Structure 1
Amino acid sequence: MPLTTHTFGPDTGDAAAVLAIHGLTGHGRRWAALAGDQLPDLRLIAPDLLGHGHSPWTPPWSYEDHVDALVAVVDEHIPASARPFVIVGHSFGGALAVRLAHRLGDAVAGLVLLDPAQGLDPSWALEVATDSLAHWDYADADHARSAKRGEGWADIPEALLDKEIDEHLIALANGRVGWRVSAPAAATAWSEMAREALLPPTGLSTVVVVADRVRPPFVGPDFLASCADAESIRVVHADCGHMVPYLEPELTATLIRETLEQV
């Protein structure tokens, strides 16, 4: 089954295309505010990843399976006239963006990686995945809202959190509520993010945004050192938490536009 895909902006052949890949436990509609407020003239294609939102929840959920599904999205939604296009990926979506760029080659004009999560310490990944599964559901929406505020959403505008609650929180069979995400798929993603980090294709214009308030960081020192040795990769530091698209929308939009200008 294909990924459920949300599109924003003009549906015309001359609109520049951006594939937007959300992070772990997210969904494609998280890009709606950025698209509407900052990039209304661009065509944003934003799928729900495997195991997320309204896309299929059945396994497998490896990096390779996600990339296969994303290639199908590109084939359906981005015509030859809109290529090469830019990929923006947040967190787990950043790790997928790099691997998708390797698969698609010249069809990709550049990458904007927002606090990309890959090459994570395996012990830490196990700890976070185990804790996430132990606290997977909530008594009610108020409990879910409080948990979100304590998980990196403390500085996100209330209206965006309200929208997240309305669109992404669902009733569960046990009488509690939870996010519209497969718990096994999420646990698998932590395993994938503990695999070795992968650099973007040689020569591909890439911006890596590091969220400086994240501890421990998702963007590790070894990956940053490798980026420093690549002339085509620029590292930008943002004084914010992990949810860069919500916390730094102007910066995110500027970097996307700058990358598109190189097409």
Structure 2
Amino acid sequence: MSDSLHVHTFGPEDAAPLLALHGITGHGGRYRRLAEHQLAGRRVLAPDLRGHGRSPRLPPWTLEQHAADLLAVLDAHRLDSVPVVGHSFGALVAIHLARLAPQRVRKLVLLDPAVSVRPADALAWAETPVKTCADRAEALATQRNDWPDAVDPELIEEEVDANWVPITRATAQANPEQDPAHQPDPHQTNPPQVTPAQGTHARPTQSPPAQSPRSTPPHATPPPAAPPQRPTPATLSQGNSPQDKPPPTSGGQPCSSLSAGGGGGRGARNLWMDSGDVDWRPRYCPAAVTTAWSEMCRATRLPPPGTPTLVVRALREAFVGPEFLQACKVELGADFTLVDLDSGHMVYLEEPDQVARLIDGFLE
């Protein structure tokens, strides 16, 4: 198996480059709309992180390894220094990249970074079973429930087509070691592949921020009759995880589920294959996601001094604690900028125009 990252590329080859990093359970293709519509004048490179999308599923899945993988992406594209945008867990990866190789990161844009996740909440989410659905319609309903703040309904269709895989049960049972990652990308052909280097394993030196109080950990499945609710900081257990929403439901009824170790199988290539012999599953490695939850509970690192950093905080969420912001102000001084948006966690999908204006203005 080739140990290489899948990279989504958008925009003119000679345009100013920008590295864009997704959060857990996601994929680089989620930046397609922002790149093609709002940031059309930039060359956006959006890799699938290790264990996600069409990138390798092999461990390790540590922040250090993700950062090393991204250095290989920059090397493969012959980029000496670039601005980096990171969302949620991807923002943590961006910080680690900047600390591993500060000369390679010109500026940081951290979109609602998952820097204040309580260990109890991370454990509850890590133990949540993998989503599986009976057919594409149920997958659409599940994704719609995960993203209730998504304004454009076409986003849901695009996400299911890009990140959900129909897997025949016979194939999954006969070939549990195979994964659904390597299927055609509906928006890209012949994507560049890069070979990541092995990461370092430096011990974090920053003390973890104090955690803001939250309600009980998220449940495995909401009550069957409960409609999707808009999450708030006071009701985190009924709202988002740092990447998506509560464990999914479809039409008020929970989807079927696998244990966290499931998710194998190559599956059929027809994305509209609805059959009683097919399960629909998202295209990520459950073990990588579980590890990411653990990584989010490590001592939070700060952007290195001298790195201009923009933090975009989603006011409907509680993933950016005041301790992190205060530490950034002290560490970065005039190089630190905070902007609050009245948005859910998926800020670049929910408020693409505002986010693009912030990115463009900050990078100029």
Give unpaired runs (5+ residues) of structure 2: 170-277
For the 8 Å contact 2:143–2:160, the answer to whether it is kept is: no
Q: Which moved more, 1:18-27 or 1:154-163?
A: 154-163
Alignment counterpart, residue 328 of structure 2, candidates 212, 223, 227: 227
1:120 paired to 2:117: yes
**1:240/1:138 Cα in 2 relative to 1: closer, same or farther (>3 Å)?**
same
For the 8 Å contact 1:20–1:46, the answer to whether it is kept is: yes
How much does 1:173 deviate?
4.6
Aligned residue runs from structure 1 range 1-263, under 5 A: 1-12=3-14, 15-80=15-80, 84-131=81-128, 134-174=129-169, 175-214=278-317, 217-229=318-330, 230-231=332-333, 232-261=335-364
How much does 1:78 deviate?
4.1
The aligned amino acid for 1:211 is A
Question: How many aligned residue pairs are there?
Answer: 252
Report the Cα distance in structure 2 between the residues aligned to 1:223 and 1:165, rounded to whole angstroms.
Answer: 34
Report the Cα distance in structure 2 between the residues aligned to 1:176 and 1:158, rounded to whole angstroms.
Answer: 23
For the 8 Å contact 1:115–1:211, the answer to whether it is kept is: yes
Report the Cα distance in structure 2 between the residues aligned to 1:151 and 1:228, rounded to whole angstroms.
Answer: 33
**1:101/1:172 Cα in 2 relative to 1: closer, same or farther (>3 Å)?**
same
For the 8 Å contact 1:28–1:47, the answer to whether it is kept is: yes
Q: Which moved more, 1:142-151 or 1:15-24?
A: 142-151
Q: Which moved more, 1:147-156 or 1:192-201?
A: 147-156
For the 8 Å contact 1:120–1:218, the answer to whether it is kept is: yes
Alignment RMSD, CA only? 1.5
The aligned amino acid for 1:146 is A
Report the Cα distance in structure 2 between the residues aligned to 1:260 and 1:225, rounded to whole angstroms.
Answer: 23
Report the Cα distance in structure 2 between the residues aligned to 1:171 and 1:164, rounded to whole angstroms.
Answer: 14
- Report the structure number with the largest CA radius of gyration: 2
TM-score normalised according to structure 1 size: 0.91
Give unpaired runs (5+ residues) of structure 1: none
The aligned amino acid for 1:142 is A
Q: Deviations over 1:70-90 (max 9, x none)?
A: 11001112434xxx3210000
How much does 1:172 deviate?
2.8
Q: Secondary structure at the match of 2:101?
A: helix
How much does 1:257 deviate?
1.5
Q: Deviations over 1:187-226 (max 9, x none)?
A: 1111111111111111211001111112xx1112221221
How much does 1:119 deviate?
4.3
Report the Cα distance in structure 2 between the residues aligned to 1:55 and 1:77, rounded to whole angstroms.
Answer: 17
How much does 1:138 deviate?
1.7
Report the Cα distance in structure 1 between the residues aligned to 2:86 and 2:150, rounded to whole angstroms.
Answer: 21
Report the Cα distance in structure 2 between the residues aligned to 1:130 and 1:182, rounded to whole angstroms.
Answer: 14
For the 8 Å contact 2:150–2:349, the answer to whether it is kept is: no
Q: Secondary structure at the match of 2:5?
A: coil
Q: Secondary structure at the match of 2:146?
A: coil
Report the Cα distance in structure 2 between the residues aligned to 1:250 and 1:161, rounded to whole angstroms.
Answer: 18
TM-score normalised according to structure 2 size: 0.66
Q: Secondary structure at the match of 1:55?
A: coil
For the 8 Å contact 1:118–1:195, the answer to whether it is kept is: no
For the 8 Å contact 1:111–1:259, the answer to whether it is kept is: no
Higher relative contact order (CA 8 A, sep 6+): 2
More helix by share: 1
The aligned amino acid for 2:159 is E
The aligned amino acid for 1:102 is R
Report runs of 4+ in structure 1 exceeding 3 Å deviation: none
Report the Cα distance in structure 2 between the residues aligned to 1:97 and 1:165, rounded to whole angstroms.
Answer: 26
How much does 1:176 deviate?
1.2
Task: Tell me what 2:203 maps to.
Answer: none
Counting aligned pairs with the same residue, the percent is 42
Report the Cα distance in structure 2 between the residues aligned to 1:145 and 1:154, rounded to whole angstroms.
Answer: 15
